[in-house]
Amino acid sequence: MSMDRPDDGTAGFSGAESARDLDARQQRIFEIMNRVRAAYYKTKNDEQLEVHLRRIERGIKDGSEPGHILMISGESAAGKSTIVKRGLRVLTTLHDYEDEYGEMMRPTLYVRAPMGCSMVDLNREILELLGYEGNVTGSPTSVGHKTRRTLRNFGTKLVVIDDFQHVFDAPKKMDPRIILHTLKNSLQDVMWPLHFVLVGLPDIEGLVDYDPHQEMERRTDQFVLEDPRFKEDADYVTWMVEDLIQARAGLAMSREQPFELTARIMHAARDRFGLILPLIYYAIEDALETESTEVSTQNWIEAYARLAKCGDNDAENVMHADNWRSIIRTVDRHGNLGPTVASSASGKRRRK
């Protein structure tokens, strides 16, 4: 993993979101946290993702037919959405532009699949994103045709569908073969072949197996996000913590820190970047809220309590308990820490 200076990523708030109504103290916290959340730290996943995205970009530019699918999967809170949005920024040839008539063309369309949606619902979501205001009715086939025509009108060649696992969670269970057939029609459209990036939980990985003709296997690349591992990435996480606290927040690292801080952070976050970063953010924010000039053990304890929603139960707080390695929490499909599944803590000591 690279230890280059972090970029300003998409995680920060836009300049349009003003804090002008806050008092001076809250304004300061707002601005510092803005700066902290704006930092983007690259991992080996970024490098590998760019290779895959560049292949799609070249395929679009040379008019490859049929289209191609890149399937990106990872556990919840692995940071899939963030890395994909960041990765799309390098595809400069596929950014929005105005045509000669002043119309905005959208070569790349990013859409998030609503929870429990069907392919028809997804098509409606795409049409709405492209500004279609009418009531979309008709058979799944006709809605699909309308969507492809609209995408062609906007010059869209790459459709990125995040949270694609939601398509499998529709109230009326869809046959995976129908989902695959719908995608295949878009890839093979003679007038306007599309390319897809499908992002989701590991549930989506087996979709191509439902193709009876096994054509989709050669038209699909699989990319599984790799979670950080302590043995390989502890130094990088340590550097991230120090960079966010010192360089970004302008705070100091207190001499009083939890024993094996980096190991605790990675364990607390279940080795997922989508939880590691919020844990660090919360510790910084807690220090700012208490008007401290440094981040200390107590801030980490409060940060974990906030992330895991364990309140003042120190026996189940990874940043406080001596037997912290035995505190293991589930992570739900939405990336939230759940209850402990293994803990040898017998008492439920609470802070006073």
pLDDT in tens, 68-79: 999 999 999 999
Q: What is the mean pLDDT of the chain?
A: 89
Q: How many CB atoms lie within 10 A of CB 309?
A: 12
Q: Are 51 and 36 in a shared domain?
A: no
Q: How far is CA 177 from CA 89, 183, 216, 270, in A?
A: 32, 10, 11, 34
Q: Are 309 and 326 in a shared domain?
A: yes
10 is a domain residue? no
Mean pLDDT value across residues 106-130: 93
CATH code, domain with 185:
3.40.50.300
Residue 320: predicted pLDDT: 95
Mean pLDDT value across residues 151-171: 93
As a whole number of angstroms, the distance between CA 294 and CA 297 comes to 10
As a whole number of angstroms, the distance between CA 321 and CA 262 comes to 15
Q: pLDDT (tens digit, 9 = 90+) per residue, 30-64? A: 999 999 999 999 999 999 999 999 999 999 998 87
pLDDT confidence of 345, banded at 50, 70, 90? Answer: very low
Is residue 343 pLDDT above 90, yes or no? Answer: no
348 is a domain residue? no
pLDDT confidence of 5, banded at 50, 70, 90? Answer: low
pLDDT, greater one: 144 or 240:
240
As a whole number of angstroms, the distance between CA 38 and CA 337 comes to 23
Q: Domain ends where: 191, 224, 257?
A: 224
Q: Which domain holds residue 125?
A: 44-224
352 is a domain residue? no
Contact 329, 347 (CB under 8 A): no
Mean pLDDT value across residues 80-101: 95
Q: Are 140 and 35 in a shared domain?
A: no
Burial class (CB in 10 A: 0-12, 13-18, 19+), 277: buried
Q: Domain ends where: 178, 200, 224?
A: 224
Contact 243, 2 (CB under 8 A): no
Is residue 347 pLDDT above 90, yes or no? Answer: no
pLDDT, greater one: 168 or 291:
291
How many domains does the chain divide into?
2
Q: Domain ends where: 181, 201, 224?
A: 224
134 is a domain residue? yes
pLDDT, greater one: 2 or 240:
240
Q: Are 29 and 100 in a shared domain?
A: no
Could you tell me the pTM of the whole model? Answer: 0.88
Residue 133: predicted pLDDT: 76
Four-residue CA torsion sign, 61, 62, 65, 71? negative
6 is a domain residue? no
Q: Are 183 and 257 in a shared domain?
A: no
Which residue, 94, 97, 146, is CA-closest to 120?
146
Q: Are 53 and 159 in a shared domain?
A: yes
